[in-house]
Structure 1
Amino acid sequence: MNLDLTGTTAVVTGASKGIGLATVRALVAQGAQVVAGARTPGEELRALTPHALAVDLAVAGGPERLIEHARAELGGIDLLVNNVGGNPAPFGGFLSVSDEHWDHVLELNLMSTVRATRAALPSLLERGGAIVNIASANARLAQPAVVAYAAAKAALLNLGKALADEFGPRGVRVNTISPGPVLTPLWTGADSAGEAMAGQYGLTTAELVEQIPQLAGMTTGAMAAPEEVAALVLLLASGAVPSMRGAELVLDGGLLKAI
């Protein structure tokens, strides 16, 4: 299967670590030029692409600025990977979640995609491009401890299907990837959601990470690697499966099973 992306220009949001960084690495390895947006682009990201931009994607104007930067740098966009997102604390259930927290989670996980997509669509329509949204298994798995995050990802999944229906006839392929637990700094980093969750259960972060696959009922017994998600992005970006429109590719280690 030919996944060569030479000549493709791509934008990846939330690109400084985890799934975003793995996606940038995979796209560059296949010949794509990548504009990468992150609040704090690190050395590893800047080594992969000269087009890394420091930008807050969770505020109005941030995603638009990234897309404007991409068009100025590369002339147009063939691929938009809406990866930015997160699952910040608290983890105490519905009544512990304030309006401010709801606003932050929705801005980060949903509105960032809405704004980046709206800004990129003129170029994507002109070039017959593709959009890949990174949702979560929580889009289908309602868990009170992450109620705001799960609701935002469910909305993102629905958004992708609506975009595919509206813009598919005009040549833009829109699909969604829904990972389960992925071994990224979201789980392992200092001040991460994983650290906060571990503290609630009286565990170290390492202990929580080790136990998550079993607690979640993952048949693989292990978290996915971010490179696995990046591999699916390559598949969808390459046009190797042009009839895939409005689809959801689930990469969850057997977490969802019959759901």
Structure 2
Amino acid sequence: MDLQLTGRVAIVTGASKGMGLAVTRTLLEEGAKVVAVSRRTTPELDALAGPNLLHVAADLMDEGAPARIVARAVEAFGGVDVLVNNAGGPPPGVSLPQFGFTTPDDGDWRRMFEFNLFAPVRLIREALPRLLESDAAAIVNVSTTMARQPGPMNYDYSAAKAGLANVTKGLSEEFGPQGIRVNTVSPGPVRTAWWTEEGGAADILAGATGADRDAVMDKVAPEMMNLVTGRLVEPQEVADAVVLLASPRSGSTTGAEVVVDGGSLKGL
């Protein structure tokens, strides 16, 4: 299926690994021009180098970053058609999961909201004038199932992502009539660096359950989270949903939430 993305210009945050890398790769395969945003590049991102890829090194917790990112996109490719706010999760120096309401302090809450809510809001605000110039503009915000299914852990993260989902709905109402579609993709647990890196979720849960880290990812976590598929989500599965929503082929889809969670959400 032709997703009609050839020549479209997309900004993707958190593009150096995991879901963002998969989104970047898929957009390039569909003929899009991609501005890949991350603090630093990776060998995997470097392997995608070509005339349609521009890496912009940026810390999204820097309030000046959005203006530089959009300016580079316009300078290199002439405009912006798609914005994928994928960067999120634990801010630098933070590991999740964190258990209990009293675990995060005020500083933790501020950093979590800065990274997962305020940074996307600032980038959307900066990109809007360029998106309004596009004849097929789309914003895709990556949230989490925890925004809809909170529990006694990761309070700050869940709340920040719930805020992002709310912003997405409001944007779809305000800017839909002006030609910008805005949607959410909400992954469940995805096999990314958040889980696999040393000191990440697999190690934290291994310490809490007494299992080894591989068993946590392959068996313990899927059982704890009631994943119908019996496994963690793969980054490419999330990327496929993101790119479809970014495509003009999804022209009547706006204000929607697409869940890619292995069946963890049980509510209607």
Tell me, yes or no, whether TM beats 0.5: yes
User: Is 1:255 aligned to 2:229, yes or no?
Assistant: no
Structure 2 runs not aligned, ≥5 long = none
1:189 to 177, 180, 197: 197
* Kept in 1: contact 2:4–2:248 (CA 8 A): no
**Residues 47-77 of structure 1: CA distance to partner in whole angstroms, max 9, x if unpaired?**
3144111111123122332222212211110
| Partners of 1:202 and 1:107 in 2: CA distance | 33
Query: SS of the residue aligned with 2:154?
Result: helix
Is contact 1:59-1:107 (8 Å) kept? no
Provide, for residues 134-186 of structure 1, a one-character-per-residue CA deviation record: whole Å limited to 9, x for no partner.
Answer: 00001101122111110011111111001101100100000000010111111
Residues 55-134 of structure 1: pairs in structure 2 closer than 5 A: 55-87=58-90, 88-89=94-95, 91-128=98-135, 129-134=137-142
CA distance in 2 between counterparts of 1:197 and 1:66 reads: 36
The letter for the 2-side match of 1:89 is S
* Identity between Structure 1 and Structure 2 (%): 46
1:209-253 per-position Cα deviation (integer Å, ceiling 9, x unaligned): 121111111111111111011111121111112111100001111
Q: TM-score, normalised by structure 2?
A: 0.92
Instruction: Name the residue aligned to 2:7.
Output: 7
- Preserved contact between residue 95 and residue 199 of structure 2 (Cα < 8 Å): no
Higher helix share: 1
CA contact (8 A) 1:174 1:245 kept: yes
* SS of residue matched to 2:47: helix
CA positional deviation for 1:83: 0.2
| Separation (CA, whole Å) in 2 of partners of 1:153 and 1:201 | 27
Q: Supply the distance in 2 between the matched residues of 1:148 and 1:105 (Cα, whole angstroms).
A: 6
Q: Secondary structure at the match of 1:21?
A: helix
Number of corresponding residues: 259
Q: TM-score, normalised by structure 1?
A: 0.95
Instruction: Give me the CA root mean square deviation.
Output: 1.5
Question: Aligned partners of 2:61 and 2:222: how far apart in 1?
Answer: 30
Matched, 1:235 2:241: no
Deviations 1:17-63 (A, max 9, x none): 10000000000001011000001211221231441111111231223
Partner of 1:145: 153
Whole-Å Cα distance in 2 between the matches of residues 191 and 65 of structure 1?
32
Equivalent residue for 2:206? 198
Write the distance in 1 (CA, Å) between the matches of 2:109 and 2:56: 27
